[in-house]
Amino acid sequence: MTVGVALLLDLTSRLPRAGASAASAAAHSHPGLSAAAFAATAAAAFSSSGVPLSARHLFGFHGFTVAHCDAGTTAGWNDGSDELVNELNTKILDSMQYARKDYFHNTTKEYPSELKPLFSAFGLKNFTITTLRSFLLYYLPLIQPKPHTDSEDEDDDLLHDAQEKPVDLVTPFYNSVKQIMRETSIVTTRRVLERIVVRHVSQRTAWKLLKDASKSSKRKAARGMSTPQYTYCVARTTFRAHALGVSAAWVVQSIIEVYRCFIRKPSDDYESDDQFFDMNKFRLFGRKIYGITIKSCFSLVLASVGAGIGALVHPVHGQWFGCALGDVAGPIIAIIVFEKMQLPL
């Protein structure tokens, strides 16, 4: 209807010149027609914008109203339109300022994934530390003080003969070499798992699995967390960061058990070859994998708990020491617990 009124006014304006002034004066002499013309024109322009009348409330437009009043009053927007426009402008300006402030204070978090070299275990520093630790592990028990006795009984002669037996230095050497190969294999396997994680999981998950737990503990210590929350956060971060290392150790140990159960020849301890070549080897392999899995789970959980407790002493060194101590104590505690519960492990 508003469009029709606008068309009628347009046709009226196109009348011949003789009656143009009279028609125009007649059309605009009445305030109601003037208001109707203004409202019709505005409504036609708004309808041409493509927004249907039934959906204008969704866009915040409440339409136009016509002031049905006496002469001397002009039609226009609703009462308080100036306040509405000012309020809308204020809201837009405030939202822009808040967005700008939120961008500078809470910038988008980045997840950098720093991959170490694939054969970092064979670097000079790492390989030297691994070698020294392995040799000390098996050769230190040989360096023990001899028991001193003052008695001159016959038992002393037997003890003296036993002490003069040659010390076996070959077996500890073989064990040390095996330990070096095992540790370097675990580190290399972890590097392979890190590359698989970066390639096949999200960037955020890969960052959590590859982050340095000690540095993360130091950053958390500067946030002023409460003691329970700080301990929980450090333990959770250590659990994620230490998961790949435990997984790598599980993979390497499982491969070793595959070699022992299916490839290596049976030793003399077996009563017959049937225990090696029969279906019992699958049962033996299953028990070995079961025990490795239980020990790995205990190691991961206790390493996380130890890191959370150690971080209370020192954010960096305490976290590292607690993680290492829990990692070593995990398999031992698992054996003790299963022996107390009389369960096979």
pLDDT at res. 100: 62
pLDDT at res. 295: 94
pLDDT cut 70: percent of the chain above it: 61
- pLDDT-derived band at 272, boundaries 50, 70, 90: very low
Residue 20 or 259, more confident: 259
List, in order, residues 6 or more apart from 240 with CB less than 8 Å away.
Answer: 208, 209, 211
Residue 237 or 81, more confident: 237
**CA-based torsion, 209, 214, 215, 218: positive or negative:** positive
pLDDT at res. 318: 93
- pLDDT-derived band at 9, boundaries 50, 70, 90: low
Q: Which of 8-22, 181-195, 257-271 has the lowest mean pLDDT?
A: 8-22
- pLDDT-derived band at 13, boundaries 50, 70, 90: low
pLDDT at res. 329: 92
Buried b (16+ CB within 10 A) or exposed e, 232-247: ebbbebbbbbbbbbbb
Mean pLDDT value of segment 2-22: 51
pLDDT at res. 280: 81
- pLDDT-derived band at 99, boundaries 50, 70, 90: low
List, in order, residues 6 or more apart from 323 with CB less than 8 Å away.
Answer: 213, 238, 242, 303, 304, 306, 307, 310
pLDDT cut 90: percent of the chain above it: 35
pLDDT at res. 168: 77
Residue 207 or 168, more confident: 207
Q: How many CB atoms lie within 10 A of CB 330?
A: 23
Q: Which of 179-183, 214-218, 269-273, 339-343 has the lowest mean pLDDT?
A: 269-273
CA 133 – CA 299 distance, rounded (Å):
20
What are the pLDDT digits (tens) for 274-315?
Answer: 445 567 888 888 999 999 999 999 999 999 999 999 999 999
φ, ψ for residue 107 (rounded to 5)? -70, 165
**Alpha carbon distances (Å) from 140 to 130, 136, 183, 217:** 15, 5, 19, 34
pLDDT at res. 167: 75
pLDDT at res. 143: 74
pLDDT at res. 76: 47
Residue 258 or 51, more confident: 258
Q: Which of 94-98, 157-161, 294-298 has the lowest mean pLDDT?
A: 157-161
Mean pLDDT value of segment 221-250: 93
- Asked if the model's pLDDT at residue 335 lies above 70, the reply is yes
CA 268 – CA 244 distance, rounded (Å):
37
pLDDT at res. 266: 61
pLDDT at res. 86: 76
**Domain coordinates in residue numbering, the chain:** 2-51+63-105, 211-345
- Asked if the model's pLDDT at residue 55 lies above 70, the reply is no
Q: The pTM is what?
A: 0.62
- pLDDT-derived band at 83, boundaries 50, 70, 90: confident
Rounded to the nearest integer, the mean pLDDT of the chain is 74
Mean pLDDT value of segment 109-126: 80
pLDDT at res. 72: 47
Alpha helices (H) along the chain: 2-13, 20-29, 31-47, 81-105, 124-139, 154-163, 170-200, 203-210, 213-221, 227-258, 274-277, 280-310, 317-340
**CA-based torsion, 251, 257, 260, 263: positive or negative:** negative
- pLDDT-derived band at 142, boundaries 50, 70, 90: confident
